[in-house]
Amino acid sequence: LSFVYEVEQPDELEVSIEEKSIISCQGSNDGVLQAKPIGGVLPYKYEWYKEGSTVLLGDESELASLENGVYYVKIIDANNNKVSSSRYTLTEPELLELFLESDYVLCGTGNDWTIESIVKGGTAPYTYLWSTGTNTVSLQGVKAGSYMLTVVDANGCKVTSEKILTPPSPIIINDVDITNPTCYQGNDGKIKILVEGGTPTYEYIWSNGLKGSSIGGISAGEYEVLIRDSKGCTYSKSFEIKNPEELKLDLGEDVTLCKDQSYILDATLEKGVKYEWTSSNGFSSTNSEVEITDEGIYKVIVTTGLGCIVTDEIEIKQSDAEVSANYLVSSQVYTNESFVLVNVSDPKPEEVTWIFPEKAKVIIENNNYAEILIEEEGEYEVTLISKVGDCEEYITKRVLVLEKTIEEEEEENLSNNQVLSSILLYPNPSSGEFNLDIELKNINTINVKIYRLNSTMVLQKEYSGKDIYELDYNLSLVSGVYFALIETKEERIIKKIVIR
């Protein structure tokens, strides 16, 4: 008797790991792994381990509450066959982070703030909830204060951040330095301000068109500055430049002398001033009071210790004479800088009338010279009218007024000129001993002439063969105001000299 048995061999025992549930947030331990055995003979036994540890983590087909790491599972079937899975790496998402960045326009004191959120890590997409109830990525048009934002990612991970919006301190002028003009109707006033607050840097716009935290070369008046910071926040304030007390001189009405008569002219003002009398008849004196017996036009120039000038004139008797009109002026000048026009009419007229363009600011105007300022560049006409009795002559010249470039801001820079590059006259005022430094753009001949206020020439010299002249003068001159004319064939510059 015999039997035949067929013995079947079970399939090869194998096991793999599947991720049943991911780790939702960084640092969480809610991951779940599932063992997937095949082959062998049921039932199976399970042993879970973490890479690098011999501690048994679980004995079921599913292992839960896991943090990130490398795991593997061993299974044993009913026939005591054993097999291990491959290592399975359970990862966690990147850390969910929230950053808030804020900015504002204008002054930051109104509803002009914006908060932008930047989310990193976690699992997109994200939902947003602001403390204001808004659920947008950014918060716009809000005022200063405290704001909270909570971001939730696709796995339910949350992160919250707070942003406190604090406006900058307001724009203020912390310090101001005002220098009034030295002389009445002078133009050497200055304003310098120190600004704090807001958001630097600052832009300064003055009511007279100048820019910068300090302005100079200004006459008496009210000046308003508009300060704008880098955010567009503005602040304005006005300052007043005041004239010093005006020196007043009045020689009275014209006088006709009869036979054997004399007339006392009294120009006495304050102590410490200097007097210069001149007349069309050659009369001159440095006394405050003079006795006149001859006919003519008498003029007195009074100069203070600060160089301020006041003049007056009187006609003692009219006489017929030749008349001419001529004056000197620099070939080019700059906006917002005063320049001088010197009457060199010969013979000396009895009466002079200056006609200036409408846009000119007249600083000083008399028969001998005028000092004016023009704020806008362009070509302007100035006319001088001379009168002697009923005779009249006039001359009109064009003055080119240019805007200074940045390179020309240094004093006495004449880079727009064809020949003259720079002129420096110092010291001024002086006792008659002074230096005149002239720099040309090429070797050229120059003429230097010095005039009194009555147009009398006291010096004339020609220099040649150089492009730089360093001239020293030691002149015996009476106290008063003089004019130096520096000219080439192409150009001329006039400088005022005060001799003490």
CA–CA distance, 12 with 419 (Å, rounded to integer) = 106
420 or 236, higher pLDDT: 236
pLDDT beyond 80 at 31? yes
Q: Read off the pLDDT of residues 73-88 as tens digits, 9 standing for 90 and up.
A: 999 999 999 999 999 9
CA–CA distance, 333 with 492 (Å, rounded to integer) = 11
Q: What is the mean pLDDT of residues 35-50?
A: 96
The per-residue pLDDT of the chain, averaged, comes to: 90
Pick the CATH number of 175-241 from 2.60.40, 3.30.410, 3.40.50, 2.60.220: 2.60.40
- What's the full length of the chain, in residues? 500
What per-residue confidence (pLDDT) applies to 272? 82
What per-residue confidence (pLDDT) applies to 411? 45
Q: Read off the pLDDT of residues 476-490 as tens digits, 9 standing for 90 and up.
A: 999 988 888 898 888
What per-residue confidence (pLDDT) applies to 452? 86
Q: Which region among 1-5, 104-108, 271-275, 478-482 has the lowest average model confidence (pLDDT)?
A: 1-5
Domain 327-402 is of which CATH architecture? Answer: Sandwich (2.60)
CA–CA distance, 162 with 147 (Å, rounded to integer) = 6
Question: Given this chain, do its domains 97-165 and 327-402 carry the same CATH topology?
Answer: yes
Q: Read off the pLDDT of residues 240-252 as tens digits, 9 standing for 90 and up.
A: 999 998 888 999 8
Pick the CATH number of 412-499 from 2.40.30.170, 2.60.40.2550, 3.30.420.270, 3.40.50.720: 2.60.40.2550
Helix (H, G, I), strand (E, B) or coil at 283: coil
What per-residue confidence (pLDDT) applies to 307? 87
336 or 5, higher pLDDT: 336
CA–CA distance, 497 with 386 (Å, rounded to integer) = 25
Q: CA 59 → CA 68, 74, 167, distances in Å?
A: 19, 9, 62
CA–CA distance, 71 with 92 (Å, rounded to integer) = 14
pLDDT beyond 60 at 153? yes
**Tokens representing residue 122 in the block:** 């976690």
What per-residue confidence (pLDDT) applies to 4? 74
pLDDT beyond 90 at 263? no
User: In the chain, what percentage of residues exceed pLDDT 70?
Assistant: 93
Q: What is the mean pLDDT of residues 226-241?
A: 95
Q: What is the mean pLDDT of residues 142-157?
A: 96
What per-residue confidence (pLDDT) applies to 136? 96
Q: Strands, DSSP E only, in 197-273?
A: 203-206, 214-218, 221-228, 234-241, 263-266
Q: Read off the pLDDT of residues 154-188 as tens digits, 9 standing for 90 and up.
A: 999 999 999 999 999 999 999 999 999 999 999 99
Q: Read off the pLDDT of residues 392-433 as tens digits, 9 standing for 90 and up.
A: 578 999 988 988 765 555 444 555 566 888 889 999 999 999
User: Within 10 Å of residue 366's Cβ, how many Cβ atoms?
Assistant: 18
The domain segmentation of the chain, as residue ranges, is 14-90, 97-165, 175-241, 263-315, 327-402, 412-499
Strands 351-355 and 332-334: unpaired
Q: Read off the pLDDT of residues 444-497 as tens digits, 9 standing for 90 and up.
A: 999 999 988 777 889 999 999 999 999 999 999 999 888 888 988 888 888 889
pLDDT beyond 60 at 152? yes
Confidence of residue 323 (pLDDT cuts 50, 70, 90): low
Which CATH class, in words, describes the domain spanning 97-165?
mainly beta
Q: Nearest CA to 71 among 55, 82, 80, 81?
A: 55
Confidence of residue 295 (pLDDT cuts 50, 70, 90): confident
Q: Does domain 14-90 have CATH number 2.160.20.10?
A: no
CA–CA distance, 405 with 427 (Å, rounded to integer) = 26
What per-residue confidence (pLDDT) applies to 426? 92
CA–CA distance, 99 with 119 (Å, rounded to integer) = 6
Strands 234-241 and 221-228: antiparallel
